[in-house]
Amino acid sequence: MKILLKRLKLILPICLLLIGCSKERLLDDQSSNERSPNAELIKSAPSKATKASNLKQIGSGVMMQAFYWDVPAGGNWWNTLSGKVQNWSNAGIDAIWLPPVAKAQNGPFSMGYDPFDYFDFGKYNQMGSVETRFGSEDELTSLITSAHNAQLSVIADIVINHNSGGQNEVNPVNGQSNWTKFTPLSGKFNRDYNDFHPNHNHGSDSGIFGGFPDLCHHQVRVQNELWKNSESVAKYYKNVMGFDGWRFDYVKGFEPWVVKDWKNEVGGFAVGEYWDGNAATLDWWTGQAEVSAFDFACYYKMRDAFEGNNLNKLNEDMLWKRNGTKAVTFVANHDTDEIFNGKMLAYAYILTHEGYPTIFYRDYEEWLDKERLNNLIWIHNNLAGGSTSILYTDDNEYVAKRNGHNNAGLVVYINNADSWQERWVETNWSNTVIKDYTGHSGWQPMTQSGNWVKIQVPPKSYTVWAPK
């Protein structure tokens, strides 16, 4: 969810309208092939995208966040991504997370977080354009097909807390005028004041955001239109458009049962954006919603560790330490980019530890060393198995080992100091030659019979050790 000040810029067109008229592996139970016994096939429309039968299992590799805030407007983003998905798959990516795909109140300029018509993917002339900021419906379908052909799952960004772009009407519950009359050209999920807060059945929830009309998930009709009916948003996105999973935006705005019901109805991998740095709170939410959450606790501890020059912070509580199968780890996303100097060290951390790591598009394609990131993705997919044991920390050094699961495991050595460091550590390997799989060290030491070995790491860098 975009931070408040940044997202409030989406409200400006509403204000102008007011003036002129006087927004070990991850989650088998959430695999992309899962189907609930309650799910219904949509018979009125054939599937638009090619549904591959051999997709990589979500969580077996790394997720790519395939956008950033204010990607170029002009309707070419889906085409841009189509040209990258095969290379991403080759590098070890298993899923791509797209921005909200439907027509929003800001039309050709919107990043999609002010949803208007959930079924207009760039087909209808409304909100100032036919195409979305990212392209046409045909181009989106082509992208999903290309991703599936590359064995990648496609994650839809779902914004169901609030809507934007409706017409003004009087709400008889409170006698106030609200922008809650929605008659989208798709003809699907028409809405009025009864579908928002307040209404005759439910006064409010925690979801008021930025002045946008707040959807009421306690209304049975809203549940039906969003996930229960045969042509609900969820079933249309999965069965017709071909999406394989869900990223739920701003889940603080509504109760966890909403996400749980959605997932139970249509299946698919699911992760929620519960923006909170408290690992216990994130753990509670994942238990209630029965899906994954972005590990904001890990994010903030990494920020403090690498930007604050105190790697002892990595000893503190994170969601992945409580439940690695529910933690989606990240270094940056479209809302946050507070880790600068230590960003590669942070990627070395999440790509060698438990959880399902996410790569941010601009880090991979523009800002960081793609070859180094590909190397870390390979390490994650091939060596980073089993539980984690922290071996040593101080202000500048961090050493941990993965204990192996169907692989040898690894030892990762992160150095935030300005000079080379060396340290004796206890490994899982006896009388075994090991090497650094990052290429940052040329050492190939042999572990002692008691599993101890001396390893090294360059300044402001990292090494990852495993049997040769």
Domains of the chain: 4-273 (3.20.20.80), 389-467 (2.60.40.1180)
Q: How many angstroms separate the Cα of 296 from the Cα of each of 82, 241, 276, 305?
A: 30, 30, 6, 14
Facing residues of 466 across strands? 435
439 is written with which tokens?
């290429």
Indicate the pLDDT class of residue 389, thresholds 50, 70 and 90: very high
Which pLDDT belongs to residue 337?
78
Q: What angle do CA 280, 284, 290 make, to 5 degrees?
A: 140
Which pLDDT belongs to residue 211?
86
Instruction: Report pLDDT digits (tens) over 17-76.
Output: 333 333 333 443 333 333 343 444 444 467 887 776 799 999 999 999 999 999 999 999
Query: Catalytic residue among 120, 225, 231, 249, which?
Result: 249
* pLDDT of residue 4 exceeding 60: no
* pLDDT of residue 5 exceeding 60: no
Query: Catalytic residue among 273, 304, 354, 436, which?
Result: 273
Instruction: Report pLDDT digits (tens) over 337-351.
Output: 788 889 999 999 999
The arithmetic mean of pLDDT across residues 196-225, rounded, is: 94
Q: Is 309 annotated to bind ligand? A: no
* pLDDT of residue 421 exceeding 50: yes
Instruction: Report pLDDT digits (tens) over 78-113.
Output: 999 999 999 999 999 999 999 999 999 999 999 999
Which pLDDT belongs to residue 407?
87
Active site residue 24: no
Active site residue 273: yes
